[in-house]
Amino acid sequence: MSVLINSATWKQLVLHKNKLDKTDMKTMFAADPERFPRFTVKQKGILFDYSKNIINDETIRLLFKLADDCDLKVKIDAMFSGQKINVTENRAVLHTALRNLRSTKITVGSNDIMPGINDVLSRMGRFAESLHKGHHQGFSGKKINTIINIGIGGSYLGPAMICGALKYYAKPDMKIRFVSNVDGTDIIENLKGIDPETTLFVIASKTFTTQETLTNAETAKKWFLESAAGKNDIKSHFIALSTNIDGAKEFGIDPKNVFGFWDWVGGRYSLWSAVGMSIALYIGFDNFASLLAGASETDEHFRTEPFEHNMPVIAALLGIWYSNFFDARTQAVIPYDQYLARLPEYLQQLDMESNGKSVCLNGELVDYSTGPVIWGQPGTSAQHSFFQLIHQGTQMIPVDFIAVMNNANKPGNHHDILLSNFFAQTEALMKGRNEAEAREELESQGMDETEIKKLLPHKIFPGNKPTNSIILDKLDPHTLGMLVAMYEHKVFVQGAIWNINSFDQWGVELGKILAKQILPQLTAAEDVTDHDSSTNGLMNYYKGKH
Ligand code: F6P
């Protein structure tokens, strides 16, 4: 049995959960009018209400104790101070340094990394400004007005989510598209209607070896050369964001247009690095800097606030509470803001690539659940697709509800309708509807007893479904930076408690290696015989038919 589940605190949490099973949130709310202020944390611009969870003071005390037992504070300091906490890759984890806007010294080994970070940031700022002012032009002298970001995973999801969320802040006339999938449809469809004379291709790849990205980049280069000018024009239409400067140069990108970063920036944590260039080009460098400043504010909050007021710590511990003590296997994130439509997809990589692990730092298999499945869609659309299962299905699904107070677009009373649904759903999930309430409703419709008996079981909602309500004052770059950093640190805390490495992703590698072996076999004349019978059969079927 692992040290974690054998610990006194873990065992106390198991017993405590059994006690809480005898009550419900509705009863706890009725007994305590102060429950909302007691279980709410405010950080400038964000309110985090966790009162609609199956918790009481004792739960929180025990969860904080668990965090202490796991040396959470020491682990937080180790990350921020550049210790090599990514032990399987022997790397520091310092995406927080990328938004260390006060430039306090941070070292990796004996090197202060801040001058390098600041140098790339100012190069990014100069490039963005020169493009926006029309000094950096396309080969025919026209202003660039279209960005095509080619990248996958962390080199795509972060920038795509942020650009979607901050569309309201986009530079006038600037368009952005994202190509990630190696399916040729992605690039072909995204190149439709694009003018090569006014398009900048941003090739984002930490390693600059990723098959999908390099294949798409080559196709983009071919398209550009066929539809436009000569090789010499590549320098004004292709830039690279990468730790592999030589790889980018080899592709043909002008070294002046390669923006670097470092191995201590994980791919899924890279939107704050040069990978954020597409964001800066789309919304302006000042807004990109505000995004960094917001994240930096959450970093300070996370590093310095006691656990009682620490949003990422509380969010993480609640996730642990449900994953490990209620056997919740998934967690939904529902933004009630259309601009945040891609947040769940971004969080999928952040959370599931980080904590989808089953081996502890000491190499032993875990004997408890780790990262949950993260999923979601914007509300209210989600209410009309999968909410039924959250309300009345057999699984417990904790949900983060996210809303924005001052929405940018408020035609008529859309925003009040939107928010009334937000409040109604969290209340309904918490309260449910008991038999007496359901019966009263049916009786008020004039139904006879036989019909009531038939319908009653279907009309009862168990309730007691946990939710967090996160309300942003405004969806601006600063607040969005705060929110995203909050989720990053939540994932970190969970990894720290589960004693896993949240910063590697070996699981993704096997498929990549096999795909590279299989590719030449698809075009070879002879039948494939060296795999299992299913893989041989499928490959030969494909070869015979295409
Ligand atoms: O396959 C997983 C992964 O390594 C992610 O972690 C990463 O974000 C993505 O591939 C893309 O990698 P790169 O930025 O090196 O092209």
Give per-residue pLDDT as tens, 27-69: 999 999 999 999 999 999 999 999 999 999 999 999 999 999 9
Catalytic residue, chosen from 353, 357, 431, 488, is 353
Helices (H), 305-365: 311-325, 343-347, 354-355
**Element housing 149 (H / E):** strand 146-150
Determine if ligand 1 sits within 6 Å of the CB of residue 206: yes
Task: Judge whether 512 counts as a catalytic residue.
Answer: yes
Nearest CA to ligand 1 atom 10: 153
Determine if ligand 1 sits within 6 Å of the CB of residue 153: yes
Determine if ligand 1 sits within 6 Å of the CB of residue 205: yes
Q: Ligand 1 center to residue 267 CA distance, Å?
A: 6
Nearest CA to ligand 1 atom 3: 153
Q: Residue 102 is which amino acid?
A: R
Q: Tokens for 269, please give them.
A: 């944590």
Determine if ligand 1 sits within 6 Å of the CB of residue 137: no
Q: With a cut of 70, which residues of the chain have pLDDT below it?
A: none
- Atom of ligand 1 lying closest to residue 275 CA: 14
**Element housing 517 (H / E):** helix 509-523
Determine if ligand 1 sits within 6 Å of the CB of residue 465: no
What values do phi and psi take at 470, rounded to 5? -115, 120
In this prediction, residue 511 carries a pLDDT of 85
Nearest CA to ligand 1 atom 8: 154
Which of 91, 210, 346 has the most ligand 1 atoms within 8 A of CB, as the residue to mutate?
210
In this prediction, residue 50 carries a pLDDT of 98
Q: Answer whether 517's CB lies under 8 Å from 530's CB.
A: no
User: Using CB atoms within 10 A of its CB, is residue 532 exposed (0-12), middle (13-18) or buried (19+)?
Assistant: exposed
Task: Judge whether 34 counts as a catalytic residue.
Answer: no
Which of 91, 156, 206 has the most ligand 1 atoms within 8 A of CB, as the residue to mutate?
206
Q: Ligand 1 center to residue 152 CA distance, Å?
A: 6
Determine if ligand 1 sits within 6 Å of the CB of residue 407: no
Q: Ligand 1 center to residue 352 CA distance, Å?
A: 14
The rounded distance, in Å, linking the Cα atoms of 474 and 405 is 6
Determine if ligand 1 sits within 6 Å of the CB of residue 505: yes
Determine if ligand 1 sits within 6 Å of the CB of residue 158: no
Q: Ligand 1 center to residue 344 CA distance, Å?
A: 18
Q: Tokens for 63, please give them.
A: 């969860």
Q: Ligand 1 center to residue 153 CA distance, Å?
A: 5
Task: Judge whether 171 counts as a catalytic residue.
Answer: no
Report yes or no on whether pTM surpasses 0.85.
yes
Catalytic residue, chosen from 384, 410, 453, 454, is 384
Q: What b-and-e string marks burial along 289-310, b requiring 16 or more CB atoms within 10 Å of the CB?
A: bbbbebbbbbbebbeeeebeeb
Q: Ligand 1 center to residue 155 CA distance, Å?
A: 7
**Element housing 293 (H / E):** helix 285-304
**Element housing 199 (H / E):** strand 199-204
In this prediction, residue 191 carries a pLDDT of 97
Determine if ligand 1 sits within 6 Å of the CB of residue 331: no
In this prediction, residue 81 carries a pLDDT of 96
